[in-house]
Amino acid sequence: MLALTFPGDRQTEFVDFPDPTPGPGEVVIEMKASGLCGSDLHYYRRPQGTPMSGKHQYQSGPVIAGHEPSGIIAAIGAGVPESLGRIGDRVMVHHYSGCATCNHCRVGWQQLCQEVPSRTYGNNDHGSHAPYFKVPAMTLVPLPDELSFAAGAAISCGTGTAYGALRRLGLLGTETIAIFGQGPVGLAGTQLAKAMGARVIALDISADRLARAAAFGADHVINPLEEDEIDIIKQLTHGHGADVSLDSSGSSQGRIAAIRCLRTWGKTCFVGEGGDVKIDVSSDLLRRQATVMGSWTFSTVIQSECARFIADRKVDVDAVFTDYWRLDQAEEAYKLFDTQTTGKAVFLL
């Protein structure tokens, strides 16, 4: 099969790999949708000749890209119980695997495996930008019939990450949340927080992204390049500040504002990767009883709960997509995605 790889320096290359066959405990998925993710850009842009990531590499040659998979089970290896999947089932994949038996793996957090370096598909092991994709059956997550395959791809990463963070924050429908960064993850956060009943203040430095956030139900939008975001959030909350906040901007300015916009006893959660932030411990944290937490994607169980929530509440996850592509359009697709001005993009197979 021809599958997409990133040789580096913003190149895309199709490489011919043998069709995967499932070993014991594994399944092969016929891919139907595979999302493009902001994190792909680290691998896409890296210098040629360097490994895909600093993590332990499971492949010596080119690595198939993509980690937002959904599709249909096409083949099943020995010893896979029917409760995990049958031929033809619509599925997503929790896009990591670990040892399968440690305390974290057993509760669906394989990315936190304590025993082996975890595999992250499309990073240190083969991913889903391919016609077929082999994974351990225990990392499958059912895709409800009401949801499209593209929605499954979104839930497999960006939308699921936003849901995982809102769960970690324990967001209540009575609360006001400020969401910093309205790229695909922050926008999903806006959409899900509204569906959970909360009041949403959406922030971004792009007017286009703010317009999209408003269309997704944000109660207020703020561009920190044009207005003092802390002042406005205080005004909107009777001088107190937001109950909770979410940083999906990954910028140090977004992160510090996500802390400073909080009310006393407020909580913030960081999901944007990379970089750093400088905190004044006394005034930003301890004298306000503030809580800062991190959230790394989600577990298999939370991914499944997220899909069920979206189907039951009829959240229009497909609306996050601005671009649909065929896999053979990968070069054009990643060129545009690399500008980071669009919404979410996905390959449909």
Q: Which residues lie near Zn ion (CB under 5 A)?
A: 37, 98-99, 102, 105, 113, 115, 157
Taking the C-alpha atoms of residue 253 and residue 249, their distance in angstroms, rounded to an integer, is: 9
Nearer to Zn ion by Cβ, of 237 and 295: the residue is 295
Whichever of 105 and 162 has its CB closer to Zn ion, that residue is 105
Q: Which is nearer to Zn ion, 95 or 167 (CB)?
A: 95
How far is Cα 149 from Cα 349, in angstroms, rounded to an integer?
10
| Closest CA relative to residue 242, chosen from 218, 259, 221 | 259
Residue 40 CB, shortest distance to Zn ion, in Å, is 7
The tokens describing 246, both together, are: 């979410």
Closest CA to 114 of 125, 99, 96, 124: 99
* Min CB(35)–Zn ion separation in Å: 7
* Distance of closest approach, residue 68 Cβ to Zn ion, in angstroms: 5
What is the smallest separation between the CB atom of 4 and Zn ion, expressed in angstroms? 15
Q: What is the nearest approach in angstroms of Zn ion to the Cβ of residue 262?
A: 27
CB of 39 to Zn ion, least distance (A): 5
Output 211 or 348, the one with its CB closest to Zn ion: 348
8 A C-beta contact, residue 217 and residue 197: no
The torsion angles phi and psi of 184, rounded to 5 degrees, stand at -55, -40
Alpha helices in the chain (DSSP H): 40-45, 103-106, 149-155, 158-169, 184-195, 207-215, 229-236, 252-260, 300-312, 330-337
> Which is nearer to Zn ion, 98 or 250 (by Cβ)?
98
The closest residue (CB) to Zn ion is: 37
Nearest to 165 by CA among 150, 179, 175, 152: 179
Complex with Zn ion: residue 119 or 267, whichever CB lies closer = 119
